Amino acid sequence: PLVRPFGEVPGPRGKFALPYIGTMLFSNSIGELKNFEFHRFAAHVQQLYGDFVKLRIKDKWNIFVFHPDIAREIFKINIKNPYRPGVGVFREYSKNRKQYPSLANLNGEEWAKLRRPTQELMLRPAAVSAYVSILARVADDFVELYKHGGFVDDLRQQLLRYVTESTGMLCFNKRFGCIEGGSILDIKYLEDIFDATDKDVRSFGLQLYRLFPTPLYRKFERAADHLFGIADVAIVDAIQTLETARAEGRLEEYLQGPHLLYALLSHPKMTGEMVERVLMDLFVAGVESTSSVLTFLWYELARNPEKQKILQQEITSVCGNADITKESLSEMPYLKACIKEILRLYPPTAPGSFVRLEKDAVISGYEIPTGTEILIFTQHMCENEQFFSHPDKFLPERFLRSNNPLTSTIRNTHPSATLPFGFGPRSCIGQRFAELEIQIITAKFFQQLDVSLPEGSSGKLERIFRIFSAPKDKVSIVIKRRS
> Which residues lie near ligand HEM (CB under 6 A)?
84, 103-104, 115, 167, 170, 281-282, 285-286, 289-290, 293, 348-349, 353, 420-422, 426-430, 433-434
CB of 118 to ligand HEM, least distance (A): 8
User: Checking DSSP bridges between strand 463-465 and strand 373-376, what pairing results, if any?
Assistant: unpaired
CB of 395 to ligand HEM, least distance (A): 19
* Beta bridge partners of residue 449, listed in sequence order: 481
Contact 335, 311 (CB under 8 A): yes
> Which CB atom, from 167 or from 442, has the smaller least distance to ligand HEM?
167
CB of 284 to ligand HEM, least distance (A): 8
User: Checking DSSP bridges between strand 361-363 and strand 449-452, what pairing results, if any?
Assistant: unpaired
User: Checking DSSP bridges between strand 469-471 and strand 463-465, what pairing results, if any?
Assistant: antiparallel
CB of 163 to ligand HEM, least distance (A): 8
Task: Find how far residue 108's CA is from the centre of its chain.
Answer: 22
- How many Å apart are CA 336 and CA 311, to the nearest integer? 10
Residue closest to ligand HEM, measured at CB: 430
Contact 282, 159 (CB under 8 A): no
How many Cα neighbours within 13 Å face the side chain of 385?
Answer: 1
> Which CB atom, from 27 or from 414, has the smaller least distance to ligand HEM?
414
Q: What is the dihedral of CA 391, 394, 395, 399, to 10 degrees?
A: 90
Task: Enumerate residues 6+ apart whose C-beta is below 8 A from 200.
Answer: 87, 88, 89, 207, 216, 220
> Which CB atom, from 357 or from 429, has the smaller least distance to ligand HEM?
429
CB of 263 to ligand HEM, least distance (A): 14
> Which CB atom, from 349 or from 447, has the smaller least distance to ligand HEM?
349
> Which CB atom, from 262 or from 421, has the smaller least distance to ligand HEM?
421
CB atoms closer than 10 angstroms to residue 203: 14
CB of 435 to ligand HEM, least distance (A): 7
With CA atoms as reference, report the closest residue to 415 among 429, 399, 393, 394: 399
DSSP run (H or E) holding 471: strand 469-471
Q: Known binder of ligand: residue 171? A: no
CB of 472 to ligand HEM, least distance (A): 18
> Which CB atom, from 107 or from 448, has the smaller least distance to ligand HEM?
107
> Which CB atom, from 42 or from 319, has the smaller least distance to ligand HEM?
42
Contact 208, 214 (CB under 8 A): yes
Q: What is the DSSP letter of 480?
A: E
- How many Å apart are CA 276 and CA 475, to the nearest integer? 34
Contact 66, 380 (CB under 8 A): yes
Tell whether omega for the bond before 351 is within 30 degrees of 0, i.e. cis: yes
> Which CB atom, from 297 or from 319, has the smaller least distance to ligand HEM?
297
Contact 255, 127 (CB under 8 A): no
- How many Å apart are CA 43 and CA 394, to the nearest integer? 22
> Which CB atom, from 262 or from 433, has the smaller least distance to ligand HEM?
433
CB atoms closer than 10 angstroms to residue 252: 9
E strands in 33-101: 52-57, 60-65
CB of 473 to ligand HEM, least distance (A): 21
CB of 422 to ligand HEM, least distance (A): 3
Which residues participate in the annotated binding site?
Answer: 428
Which residues participate in the annotated binding site for heme?
Answer: 428
